[in-house]
Structure 1
Amino acid sequence: MRKLTVADLEDHHRGATFTSVLPGHVVQKGGFRVYAQPGFRTHDEPGRHVHTVPEVFVIVQGSGAIEIEGAEVDQFSAGDVVVFEPGEDHHLISRGADPLVFTWMHLEPVP
């Protein structure tokens, strides 16, 4: 897992490329989520939650904890960019008073 801020992202205008976070990767798919309930934990299905590609979260609003392999390892807040590596069991846990709002993207290497 890596954590950046939106200010760390480089200015670029290349469509779906995401060179400022993972050079040589493009966005495979993604979405936008809003969770109003405090204590919400992403990917809260039974078992491990992993991907074969990197997953990036851009936190628009809210704050909370970053969980990897069942342990809280860091905190996040609005403006943070969290990158989970392939194979990492990962979750975000909302801990703030404001609803958790984020975008998510799965990245894949440029062919």
Structure 2
Amino acid sequence: MRKLSIAELEPHHRGPQFTSPLPGHVVEKGGFRIYPEPNFRTHDEPGRHVHTVPELFVIVQGSGAIEIEGAEVDKFTAGEAVLFEPGEDHHLISRGTDPLVFVWLHLAPEPAE
């Protein structure tokens, strides 16, 4: 897991590529989520929640805890991006009074040209 400040990412204009957070990767799929209830835990289905590709969360509003492999390891707040590695069991837990709003993106290696 890596936590990044959105303000510190390098500017770029190369389409869907993520040249700052994860060079050589493109967006495979993604979405936008709003969770108004406090203590919401993402991916709250039974069992581990993992992917075969990196997953990036861009926090638009709210704050909370980052959970990896069942343990709270860090905190997040609006204006940060959290990057989970393939195979990491991961969750975000809303701990603030504001609704949790984020963009999630699955990243894939950039196809060879």
Coarse TM-score class (shorter-chain normalised) = over 0.9
SS in structure 1 at match of 2:7:
helix
Gaps of 5+ in 2: none
What's the offset of the Cα at 1:8? 1.9
CA RMSD of aligned residues (A): 0.4
Deviations 1:14-47, CA, capped at 9 Å, x for gaps: 1110111110000000010000000000000000
SS in structure 1 at match of 2:15:
coil
Specify the alignment match of 1:59 in structure 2: 59
Give the count of matched residue pairs: 111
The within-5 A match list for 1:4-43 is 4-43=4-43
TM-score by length of 1: 0.99
Deviations 1:42-62, CA, capped at 9 Å, x for gaps: 000000000000000000000
Specify the alignment match of 1:106 in structure 2: 106
TM-score by length of 2: 0.97
Gaps of 5+ in 1: none
SS in structure 2 at match of 1:21:
coil
Q: Give the distance between the partners of 1:97 and 1:110, measured in 2 at CA.
A: 38
Q: Give the distance between the partners of 2:106 and 2:9, measured in 1 at CA.
A: 17
Query: Post-superposition, which runs of at least 4 consecutive aligned residues in structure 1 deviate over 6 A?
Result: none
